[in-house]
Amino acid sequence: MSHHIVEVKDLRHTYPDGTAALNGVSFRIHHGEAVAVIGANGAGKSTLLLHLNGYLVPTGGEVRIGDFPLTRETLPEVRRTVGMVFQDPDDQLFMPTVFDDVAFGPLNLGLPPHEVERRVMDSLMRVGAEHLREKPPHRLSGGEKKRVAIATVLAMSPDILVMDEPTTGLDPFARRQLIGLLKEFRHTRIFTSHDLDMVLELCERVIVLREGVVVADGPAREIFRNEELLAACRLERPLSMQGCPVCGNTARQSEDITRKRKEAMDE
């Protein structure tokens, strides 16, 4: 299914105040891939994400989602295909109850009431939040808000999931829960994050941005071993790939342990 492909060609964006946020970004993400876009603050990650569902219009270059170039005509279809989960769930949950909020997208798609109902319940069940359906969003905890925000997007049955900093502000348990959930998804997934351990667990591929250009694009493990590159981009190795200060394991040993744990979990 070519629907799930995201292609960006020589994307450029300059904000009205003259800040050049993207200076020619190109990549192609395939069906079912999980890719992390990482980089320092202000490297252009958020600007890039906002192009993927047409909220920002490129100053130059092109974005293609599936078979469509992103234009004014294809915008509604692209917005259904690309489900965007924002960093702050308070921005995403604006309806009076969780149910209303999850139903917002499907109702805008013009689906009949029973189908809306089915989709809402399915997506809430998917994220384990069906018991929250009549609650107002402002009474949910951070982790619950995040999961409901993901449900609001799932209800539109997108092919591609885009998430901005999914694990920020979550407690370790909620973070672990979220990572488990995201692992189960078969969508094409694009994340931005500073939580590099999460990136290592979820993504095979990493795209590194610096000052609006792609400076590296490749397998996560390879990129995280490149100390020079990481330092130049204000990044560092994920903790699970660093030596252990307590038990004295070397970086290599820690990495082996993580890999074994990951393999055990995948089985």
Partner 1 sequence: MASIEGALLDFKRLDRLAAGEMAIHRLDPRAKVLATLVFIITVVSFGKYELTPLFPFFLFPVVTVAAGDLPAGYIVRKIALLCPFALVVGMFNPIFDREVLVHLGPFGVTGGWISFASIVVRSILTVGSALALVGVTGFSAVCSALERMGMPQTFAVQLLFLYRYIFVLTEEGARTARARELRAFGKRGKGMGSYGPLVGHLLLRTWERAERVHRAMLSRGFDGRFHVRRPFRFGVVETLFTLGWSAFFVFCRLVNVPDLLGSLVTEVFR
Answer yes or no whether residue 91 interacts with partner 1 by CB under 8 A. Answer: yes
In this structure, how many other beta carbons lie within 10 angstroms of the beta carbon of residue 108? Answer: 12
Closest CB 109 distance from partner 1, rounded Å:
6
Binding-site member from 36, 37, 103, 148 for partner 1 (CB under 8 A):
103
Answer yes or no whether residue 7 interacts with partner 1 by CB under 8 A. Answer: no
Phi, then psi, of 27 in degrees rounded to 5 = -165, 170
Picking from 18, 15, 35, 17, the residue whose alpha carbon sits closest to that of residue 27 is 35
Q: One symbol per residue from 31 to 70: x for binding partner 1 (CB under 8 A), - otherwise; what is it? A: -------------------x--x-x---------------
Closest CB 91 distance from partner 1, rounded Å:
4
CA 19 distance to own-chain centroid: 24
Contacts from 175-183 at CB under 8 Å and sequence distance 24+?
177/143, 177/147, 178/143, 178/146, 178/147, 181/127, 181/128, 181/147, 181/150, 182/34
Answer yes or no whether residue 122 interacts with partner 1 by CB under 8 A. Answer: no
Task: Return all residues near 254 (Cβ < 8 A) that are at least 6 apart.
Answer: 240, 241, 242, 243, 244
Calculate the alpha carbon distances from 249 to 196, 198, 214, 244, 246 in Å: 20, 21, 33, 5, 8
Answer yes or no whether residue 79 interacts with partner 1 by CB under 8 A. Answer: yes
Q: Which is nearer to partner 1, 15 or 94 (CB)?
A: 94
Choices 111-119, 171-179, 205-213, 238-246; region in contact with partner 1 by CB under 8 A = 111-119
The span from the CA of 102 to the CA of 110, in Å, is: 14
Q: Which is nearer to partner 1, 44 or 106 (CB)?
A: 106
The span from the CA of 69 to the CA of 11, in Å, is: 13
Q: Which is nearer to partner 1, 46 or 226 (CB)?
A: 46
The CA-based angle 173-178-179, given to 5 degrees, is 100
Contact criterion met (CB below 8 Å) for 155 and 102: yes
Closest CB 153 distance from partner 1, rounded Å:
7
Binding-site member from 60, 76, 128, 180 for partner 1 (CB under 8 A):
76
Answer yes or no whether residue 113 interacts with partner 1 by CB under 8 A. Answer: yes
Answer yes or no whether residue 191 interacts with partner 1 by CB under 8 A. Answer: no
Choices 83-91, 168-176, 232-240, 241-249; region in contact with partner 1 by CB under 8 A = 83-91
Answer yes or no whether residue 73 interacts with partner 1 by CB under 8 A. Answer: no
User: Which residues make up the interface to partner 1 (CB under 8 A)?
Assistant: 50, 53, 55, 76, 79-80, 82-84, 86, 88, 90-92, 94-97, 100, 103-105, 107-109, 113, 116-117, 134, 136-139, 152-153, 156
